[in-house]
């Protein structure tokens, strides 16, 4: 099936994923791991999902300079030019602006999806149809689209999208006007969101035309726009790296949410029809995996359990473990690091990581 040459994707692959320590480290983050024991890494799975309907050469990977070789080794079908390297950590707005300008240089009629590289989506056909619906909307109008996830429970770890239930788009596309983006709520607020019925989880998946997003940057982030646009003639040429190395560190450290989404006027959300898991924590991975008869989720290795229930267990391949008397624990064995932590305390893993770094050095983090 022929793929639309105006479709582009930008995969965000620069995060560290510290809540998945000790498997995910700053040198080898979670998007480059096979977290589910499925035979492919999260990055590879995300690339494959988008490559169903987006040409291979139109998929760009946004990442940190230190992960360049990891990306190219895991995605041998792409060229080095498709890896957009950030010379400094500057949040999501500058790198999205940079990518949009590069795409404009290639194709001013380009339509872009910006998506995390570490989410898990099984119904890839439904995902494709949802994204294409948004692409169609963005090709016709100067709007920003996003995919929202129907909340399964009052989650306090996600931002929410509040939308206008009364005025669904008359096009029949299923898109609703966004009223506002809401920060991560406390539990009672999250419960009220679900009760109201017009709130979706913000999955961080955005769709727009190159023309629309660059127009928004020009209007709402004029200094940042001028900084990057001043080197437009150098983009996709040998002179690009020198320009970016010099100017990227001057960019504001600001997220796309604060820079554009909270200011833009025409934003629409499509309630996703696919299953979705952000794989943000060991607990979310546990909920995604199949369990044994005692509710233990096991990735790799062979486990003999006795009086052990509800555990998230990840081992090196071909390793045998005996687990007796543990209930609702995270057990992660990774070469030189073993972590055994109650699932109820998984939110402390970041602070555990900081303490390990302080006491034992950077090589384990």
User: 307 — alpha (psi -120 to 50), left (phi > 0) or beta?
Assistant: left
* pLDDT for the residue numbered 212: 97
Query: DSSP assignment, residue 309?
Result: B
Q: Could you tell me which residues are beta bridge partners of residue 225?
A: none
d(CA 364, CA 357): 7
Query: Which ranges of 187-327 does DSSP label H, i.e. alpha helix?
Result: 187-196, 210-220, 222-229, 240-247, 256, 282-288
Strands 199-209 and 302-306, bridge-based pairing: unpaired
* pLDDT for the residue numbered 83: 95
Q: Which residues of 227-238 are buried (b: 16+ CB within 10 A; e: fewer)?
A: bbbebeeebeee
DSSP E strand boundaries for 20-110? 59-64, 83-86
Q: What is the DSSP string of 116-150?
A: ESS-B-S-HHHHHHHHHHHHHHHHHSS-EEEEEE-
pLDDT beneath 50: ranges in the chain:
170-171
* pLDDT for the residue numbered 168: 55
* pLDDT for the residue numbered 277: 86
d(CA 282, CA 33): 14
Q: Which domains does the chain have, with CATH numbers?
A: 7-271 (3.90.550.10), 282-364 (no CATH)
* pLDDT for the residue numbered 216: 96
**pTM value > 0.85:** yes
- For residue 118, how many other CB atoms are within 10 A of its CB? 26
């Amino acid at each position: 099936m022929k793929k639309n040459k105006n479709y582009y994707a930008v995969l965000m692959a620069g995060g560290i994923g510290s809540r998945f320590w000790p498997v995910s480290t700053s040198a080898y983050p979670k998007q480059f791991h096979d977290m589910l024991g499925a035979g492919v890494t999260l990055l590879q799975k995300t690339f494959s999902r988008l490559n169903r309907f987006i040409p291979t050469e139109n998929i760009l990977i946004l990442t940190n300079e230190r992960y360049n070789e990891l990306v190219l080794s895991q995605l041998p079908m792409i060229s080095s030019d498709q890896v957009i390297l950030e010379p400094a950590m500057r949040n999501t707005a500058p790198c999205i602006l940079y990518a949009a300008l590069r795409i404009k240089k290639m194709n001013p009629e380009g339509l872009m999806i910006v998506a995390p590289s570490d989410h898990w989506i099984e119904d890839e056909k439904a995902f494709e149809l949802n994204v294409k619906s948004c692409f169609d909307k963005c090709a016709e109008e100067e709007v920003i689209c996003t995919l929202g996830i129907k909340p399964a429970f009052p989650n306090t770890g996600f931002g929410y999208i509040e939308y206008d239930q009364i005025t669904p788009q008359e096009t029949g596309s299923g898109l609703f006007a966004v009223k506002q983006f809401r920060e991560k709520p406390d539990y009672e607020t999250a419960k009220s969101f679900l009760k109201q019925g017009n709130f979706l989880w913000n999955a961080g998946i955005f769709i727009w035309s190159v023309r629309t997003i660059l127009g928004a940057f020009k209007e709402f982030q004029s200094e940042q726009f001028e900084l990057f646009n001043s080197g437009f003639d150098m983009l996709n040429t040998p002179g690009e790296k020198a320009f970016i190395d010099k100017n990227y560190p001057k960019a504001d450290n600001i997220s796309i949410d604060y820079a554009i989404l909270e200011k833009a006027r025409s934003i629409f959300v499509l309630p996703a029809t696919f299953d979705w898991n952000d794989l943000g924590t060991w607990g979310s991975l546990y909920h995604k995996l199949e369990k044994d008869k005692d509710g233990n989720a096991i990735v790799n290795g062979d486990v003999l359990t006795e009086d052990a229930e509800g555990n998230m267990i990840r081992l090196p391949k071909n390793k045998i473990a005996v687990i007796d008397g543990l209930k609702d624990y995270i057990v992660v064995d990774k070469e030189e690091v073993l972590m055994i932590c109650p699932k109820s305390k998984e939110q402390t893993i970041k602070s555990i990581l900081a303490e390990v770094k302080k006491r034992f050095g950077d090589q384990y983090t």
